[in-house]
A and B are shown apart, each in its own frame.
Chain A
Amino acid sequence: MNAATVVFQDVSKFYGEVLGVNRVTLNIPPGITSLVGPNGSGKTTLMNLMTGLIHPDRGSISLRGISPRDPERLMRITGYATQYDSAPRWATGFSFITTGLLLFGFGRAEAEQRAWKALERLGLTEAAQRKVAAYSKGMRQRVRLAQAIAHEPEVLVLDEPLNGLDPLIRAETIALFREWAAQDRHVIISSHVLQEVDVISDQVVLIANGMIVAEGEIRNVREEIHERPSQFIVRCRDASQVASVLFNEDHISEVRLNDDGSGLLVMTRNREQFSRLLGRIALNGHRIDGVIPADENVDALYEYLIGGDR
C-alpha cells in the first residue's frame, strides 16, 4: 500500500439507526478524485470521516499514513472546504483566512503572507478587506476555497466546490485543482455537476445509499459494466454502408445513423471485437474519420450504476 494514498478500510458509520456509510473500502491515489452520488448517499459523511470531524463506528481510515484521530498532524496536511457558509459575517476575507492560519500555528507575518497568496490565487485580493457578509455567493465560495488551500495542504477535501462560481472563475478553479493534483497531491471533491466531474476527474467514486458502487478511472469503471453495451460514435462519410457491415456482427446490438449521414451511434457488447471490426472496415476501403466512446463518462456511469434522480 502506497503511503501517499487515502485509505478507507471496511469503514462503517451510523447516525443512530440511520446509515451514513457501510463497509467502505477505498484506496484513493493522488490526483483529482470525485465523489459522485445522489443527495444523502454518504458523500459528505465520507468527507467528514476523512477529515476526522466524525469517527467511524468500525474500520479504519488513513490519510497519507495519518489517522484522522490525530488532528494535530492530520490537519497540517489537510484542507477542508465545506458546502455551507462557514465564514463569520463580521470578518473580512483577509482576517478570516489569517485567523485560520494562526490557528494552524503560523506566525502572524507568515500567516498574513499566506493569506494574501491564497486570496490572490482565488482572485479575491480586491475584496480582501471587505466583510465576508458583503460577498456574493460565488465570492463566499472562493473564500472558503482560499481558507482550505492557504496552508498548502497535501489533501484537499472540497464539498461541492464549484457551486455558485461563474464560468470564468469555475475554469480558473478547475485549473487550480489540476495544478494541485499534478504535484502528487490529493484533490477530493464532491459534485453534482457530472459534466464537470467528467472533465476534471482522474478517478471517480460512485456512492449510493452509503455504499460504494464503483471506484477507479472512468474508463476502467465503464469496462467493468458488462451488462450494458458500450456506445461509440463513429464518424465516417459512408455511414449507411458501414452500418450494414456492422449489422452483420453478433456483438453489435444497435446502430443509429446520424441525421447528417456522416456518423453512427454504435452499441456493442464486445469492445475488443468492435475494435477489430473497425480495423477490417477501414482496410476494406471505408474511411473512418474518428471513433469516440459515447458513454465513458460519469453521466453514463451514474445512469448505469445508480440511476434515478440526481
Chain B
Amino acid sequence: MAVYRRGYHRYQGPIVGHWARFMVLPRFAWRRLFQQRLVVLLTVVAMIWPLLCAGFIYLANHADLLTGLDREFREFVSVNGRFFLIFMYVQGSFAIFLAALTGPGLIAPDLANNALQLYFSRPLTRSDYALARLLVLFGMLSAITWIPGLLLFGMQVGMSGGWWFLANWTLGAGIVAGFAFWVLLVSLVALTCSAWVKWRVVAGALVLAFFSLLSGVSLMINEVFRVTWGHVLNPAWAANQLWCLMLGVGPVAGPGAVECALSLAVIIFVLASLLARRLRPVEVIS
C-alpha cells in the first residue's frame, strides 16, 4: 500500500452565486448568436413594425395633424386593444421566424458533441441547462415582442396622460402576459426541434412547419367535421384568442379562451416532456 501525503488544499476563495453561474450559458449563446448576420438582420427588420406603430401612436395623439382628413380615417387612428392586438400578431410572427433561425443551434450541437456530460459534470443540473437555453430564446424574442410592446404602451401613456393609463392599464399587462406565453411556447418548440433534429436547417424548417402544419390540420378538421373546435389545435389561433381576452377585444367565433388556454398548456407540457426526454447526459440503451 502506498503512503500518501496530503499535498493539496481545497479552493477556499470566493465563488460566485448560482445565478451568476447560470447566466454563463446564456451570455455565451447571445454573444455567438449576435455574431450571425442573419440574426442581426432579422432582429432589425422585426423592429420596423414597432417603429411604424410608434408613428401611429404619435399621430393618434396629435389630433391637429389629422384635421382635414376623412372622419372614418380619424376614427381609425386610435390606440386601443385592437391596435395592440395587430401589433402583437405581427411581432408574434416575427418571433416564430427568429426562433426558427436561432433555436436549432442551441441544443443540437451539444448533443452532437456529447457536451451534455461536460455541462452536467459542473455544478449545473438538467433543469438549469434547459432553463438557460430557454432563457437564450426568451431573451432574444423578448427584444422584439413584449419589450417594444411595453415601450409603445409607455409612449401612449406618456402622450395621453395618467387617466388613459388608469383606464387602460390592462392593455400593458395583456401585452406582457400574452407575449410571455407566446414566447415561451415558441421557444419550447424551437428547443424541442433542436433537441430532436440534428441538422439545423431541418430543425428550423420544422419550427415553421409546426405552426403551419397545425394550422392546416385545424382547418381540415373544421372543414371535414363542420366544427370549430379544430381551432384549439392551432397554437397561433389559440394564442390570438387569449390575446383578445387579455386586450379586451371581442373574441373570434370558435372555442373560448379557456379551451384555448388548456390546449396551449397541453402543447407546452408535451413539448417540455419531449425536451426533458432528450436532455440526458448519457446515451440510454433500450
Contacts and interface: CB of A to CB of B under 8 A. Distances in A.
Query: Do A and B come together as binding partners?
Result: yes
Interface of A: 15-16, 18, 30-31, 44, 48, 51-54, 71-72, 75-80, 82, 84-90, 99-100, 102-107, 110, 147, 151-152, 154, 181-185, 202, 217
Contact of A53 (B15, B25, B117): B117
Nearest to A87: B113
A154 B1 CA distance: 19
Contacts, number: 116
Given A76-B11, A88-B115, 10 more contacts: A18-B286, A30-B4, A71-B123, A72-B123, A75-B123, A85-B114, A104-B21, A110-B13, A182-B5, A183-B6
A99 B109 CA distance: 16
A31 B6 CA distance: 11
Interface string B108-128: 011001110111111111000
A53 B282 contact: yes
A80 B5 CA distance: 23
- Is chain B's interface secondary structure helix, strand, loop, or mixed overall? loop
B285 A15 contact: yes
Q: Please name the 3 residue pairs, one residue from A and one from B, whose CB atoms are nearest each other, closest first.
A: A105-B15, A183-B7, A84-B114
Given A71-B124, A104-B122, A152 B6 contact: no
Contacts of A103: 21, 24-25, 119, 122-124
Interface of B: 1-2, 4-8, 10-11, 13-17, 20-21, 24-25, 28, 32, 109-110, 113-115, 117-125, 281-282, 284-286
A78 B4 contact: no
Contact of A54 (B5, B25, B110, B281): B281
A71 B120 contact: yes
A51 B121 contact: yes
B123 A100 contact: no
Given A80-B117, A104-B123, A110-B13, A184 B28 contact: no
B5 A31 contact: no
Contacts of B282: 44, 48, 53-54
Contact of A16 (B114, B124, B285): B285
Given A82-B117, A107-B14, A107-B16, A76 B123 contact: yes
Contact of B4 (A77, A79, A85, A181): A181
Given A54-B282, A151-B11, A75 B122 contact: yes
Contacts of B124: 71, 75, 103
Contacts of A100: 118, 122
Contacts of B119: 103
Given A104-B123, A182-B4, A86 B113 contact: yes
Contacts of A185: 8
Contact of A71 (B8, B10, B110, B125): B125
A286 B198 CA distance: 72
A152 to B, nearest CB: 7
Nearest to A83: B114
22 contacts: A15-B286, A31-B2, A44-B282, A71-B120, A71-B125, A82-B117, A82-B118, A84-B117, A86-B114, A86-B118, A87-B113, A88-B109, A88-B115, A103-B119, A103-B124, A147-B118, A152-B8, A181-B2, A182-B2, A183-B6, A184-B7, A184-B8
Given A48-B282, A99-B24, A154-B10, A202 B123 contact: no
A71 B121 CA distance: 8
Contacts of A88: 109-110, 113, 115
B237 to A, nearest CB: 39
Contacts of A78: 121
A253 to B, nearest CB: 31
B113 A85 contact: yes
A73 to B, nearest CB: 8
A86 B115 contact: yes
B284 A182 contact: no
Nearest to A76: B123
B8 A102 contact: no
B2 A202 contact: yes
Contacts of B16: 105-107
Task: Pick the most buried of B11, B117, B121, B282: most chain A CB atoms within 10 A of its CB.
Answer: B121
A48 B284 CA distance: 12
A86 B113 CA distance: 5
Contacts of B21: 102-105
Nearest to A44: B282
B232 to A, nearest CB: 35
B236 to A, nearest CB: 34
Given A88-B113, A183-B8, A53 B285 contact: no
